[in-house]
Chain A
Amino acid sequence: DAGITQSPRHKVTETGTPVTLRCHQTENHRYMYWYRQDPGHGLRLIHYSYGVKDTDKGEVSDGYSVSRSKTEDFLLTLESATSSQTSVYFCAISSRLAGEGETQYFGPGTRLLVL
């Protein structure tokens, strides 16, 4: 295991409620990523972080925000959940940028159902 945990592992919520997912790493890696996985789409990048308090948007960032106050924690927040955000969310970490050919290590995922 790459020392990545995600919490909660499963969550059911209602439309319009805020939801926060947590990614925690013990590897002290600089880069952390949030992806969502949907059938027919593979994995798509939501946001990523390149250091404490340094984050940037991915390709599907609308409706999501992130925060990183400590190296080991990367939080993903759905400000007002919608049914289209029902998905499996994966956190990933790497010691260098993907552009440098670095392997990304993935957490076990969080299954989110928005009713």
Chain B
Amino acid sequence: AQSVTQLDSQVPVFEEAPVELRCNYSSSVSVYLFWYVQYPNQGLQLLLKYLSGSTLVKGINGFEAEFNKSQTSFHLRKPSVHISDTAEYFCAVNGVTGGGNKLTFGTGTQLKVEL
């Protein structure tokens, strides 16, 4: 079994400030990790994903995430946010073996960028 924890349900930040959205996972097997973004009244779209290789993954819109196996974390970061980054962000995990066809999602973090 696997699970995802997004400890912060809401993160307010001022425009041009840096932000980190936290994601921790638990799994008994190797994992693939994903960050999705959901803008209001829209479906989810992929920001970035970690499959293997370099632990620092760069995604769209200037976001990046670092896979830390020892801390079982996959935190999302952006050095300078924009108003347009206001959205809900979901971390998701799938086991390489045993996870079957199931992506397990966290409960989401609402990022609100203020002027």
**Contact status A31-B101, CB under 8 Å:** yes
**Contact status B43-A101, CB under 8 Å:** no
**Contact status A98-B90, CB under 8 Å:** no
**Contact status A58-B49, CB under 8 Å:** no
Kindly specify which of B13-21, B67-75, B91-99 makes contact with the partner chain: B91-99
CA gap between A12 and B102 in the complex, in Å:
29
**Contact status A101-B94, CB under 8 Å:** yes
Q: Using a Cβ cutoff of 8 Å, how many contacts connect chains A and B?
A: 64
**Contact status A99-B105, CB under 8 Å:** no
For window 66-115 of chain B, which residues contact chain A by CB distance below 8 Å?
90, 94-97, 99-103, 105-108
Residues of chain B within 8 A (CB-CB) of A108 are 41-43
**Contact status A101-B32, CB under 8 Å:** yes
**Contact status B101-A109, CB under 8 Å:** no
Binding site for A on B (CB under 8 A): 4, 32, 34, 36, 41-46, 49, 51, 90, 94-97, 99-103, 105-108
Binding site for B on A (CB under 8 A): 4, 31, 40-45, 48, 50, 56, 58-59, 90, 92, 97-99, 101, 103-109
